[in-house]
Structure 1
Amino acid sequence: MRDFARRPGGVPKVALVATLGILSLVTAVSNVTSVSASTGIGVFVGYADSLRADIGNFPTPWSGSPNVTFRGCLPGSCEYDAGAVRIVNNSGGPVTVNDVKVHISTCTYSGWGPATLTSGSELIVTQLTTGGVATGCPANAFMDTSDVGPNGTSQGDVCTPDGLQPTVEVTINGQTTTHTDSGQVLNTGGIDAADCPKDGIIRNESIQWTVIGSTPCKGSVLSLTPPTQTHGVGTTATVTATFTNGCAQPLQNVSVQFAIISGPNNGRTANGVTDANGHAPFSYSSAVTGTDTHRASITNLAGTIQSNTVIVIWLAYAPGGGAFVISDRENVQGGPVYWWGAEHAGDRQCPYHEERRSHQR
């Protein structure tokens, strides 16, 4: 629900992004034959609500994330209160998303235009306009899908589930597949989630990206592993960040910031991007001994998500072997000192070869 009377300042902002096209709303659902889309294509649904910030639930990635083509009004000129669809290409090659349509009862949202996605990249479509009152099917370009009721009526302020299951029609390389949002992510459970239950509290409607057909996967989990590791100075340590939704579904193409927050390498930072498994690694080496403490973070439109901390212990290992000194009990001041060096003897019978050298003290 978009209740501008309750927003700070009380005056809505209006911004149209003409270059992104016009989000068309029609009152009849097309009869589409469902065929198989390209393999390796993921379809996700979410709900973006920036009116009432919720860091863990705001859909991430979003506009400005790596490898993301974003079709919607842009942050800074837009206040989000809308359903959103995410198409991820992990097919191994480029694909063209010819069209995306969202159907809720007799309402259809479309008009984002085609997009070509390289392997590993994605398309996000959502509202194109901000401001104004957006309820029911006639809400042109707002895509406030939590307020869409049966036959295009307004579901705003309604707490009785309407039972509607949105569908998302995706056409890729000329092939069309229809996916059912049986978890009712796009229409927030068939109620106006901002105002339900009726207790006077205005709630955030955001829902993190969820594989379409799943129950809503609210929340975000950013974890850093392994908990502890030990290395010799001059070698390499790797910590890995993993970013998922609340159902452990990986979230790809998210920028991760790594930071060493204490230890001999305190202040060192790096950036990474999550892959198809939600993983982003950070590798580094140390020239000094000690214990480094690491933390990862992800920043979205609502704030910053932080990981657990992990440690890397750096010891003075001698990387390729070593040497030892045995004291010469017969040494005298100003006399010679004998040094024994140990080295691997290869295929000799004895595993070590002894070398005795004399050094003047």
Structure 2
Amino acid sequence: MSGPDTADSHDRHVFRATGAAPTGQPHPLPPAPPWRRFRGGPPQLPPPDDEQAALRRLGHVDAVPQLDPESVDVVNAALLLRRPLLVTGAPGVGKSTLAYLISRELGLGRVLEWNVVSRTTLRDGLYSHDALGRAQAIAAWRAGLGTTATTDGGDSGQPTPALGDFITLGPLGTALLPFSRPRVLLVDELDKSDIDLPNDLLHVLENGSYEIPELVRDATDSATVHISDPGRFADVRHGRVECAEFPVVVITSNGEREFPAAFRRRCLPLEMPTPSREQLLGIVESHLRARPPEAEALVDLFLKRVEAGGTHSLDQLLNAVQLTTAGTFRADAGGRKLLEMLLRDLAKGR
């Protein structure tokens, strides 16, 4: 398979890991395999962009690959097969940033983030129902706060509070709406979840659909619900959501525990290595819009500590370069102690 910088018209890569936004119409994705095609509707409006979030994660990138060729191949295979990526690697190596890299380069809009903790359930990712808020709204309506008499003795006829007004689709639920192009969903640190969550995800990842029982039982055929995109809504018919294009799902794990085999076989594994020296310098340059003289020495120090077995994150490197570049601190004399603190081994606590 050709490398990510190949310009051949027959190159199968749609993702090259540059993070450069498309200059015109976004590159179309290849058609999904027959077994990964879905028929959800009605069609949704294109998602909004969130360039500020992308800038915080990626900086102002140039057209230089930020992943090695093997990793680029795995991402392109996941895009072609419409399968989730299970991204592992040391903490702080840039696993969650991959979702933003894909979204910006392919023009897929705002990244939907689902941050997993030990108490997270599948329903948290799919939707929430404010049952108490609806009960209070119905009580107010019944008490006459929602209906008033008209001057001719009739009734203003304000409707009962709609069920959909009290339902909000979560990041996973929003990603599975029938958008014409895939949404990007980041499932961050799944290994921190309860042991049952990966198994609970199996049906959704395989079928690209889910039901909202409250809407299934409702008498109306369609409901307008809130979604995870600010100020956006979606129509849900008969209480069921099915995607039109399976989302780009990036699942990160710090390797704190193993996942079930049935879950792993539905994902493509991607082990994120520590970036090379040139990649680290490129990351620094993308965030600072320059390559300061101090950057090379700090990158070398950072890599030396990683290669010695320490646990370090890219944020530590960026913080150290920023402080020395700002001119407030120097890497020698009094500033040395501060740099040692910034580049400390995270596995050793304080």
TM norm structure 1: 0.24
Q: Specify which structure has the higher proportion of strand.
A: 1
| Structure of greater Rg | 1
With a CA cutoff of 8 Å and minimum separation of 6, indicate the structure with the bigger relative contact order.
Answer: 2
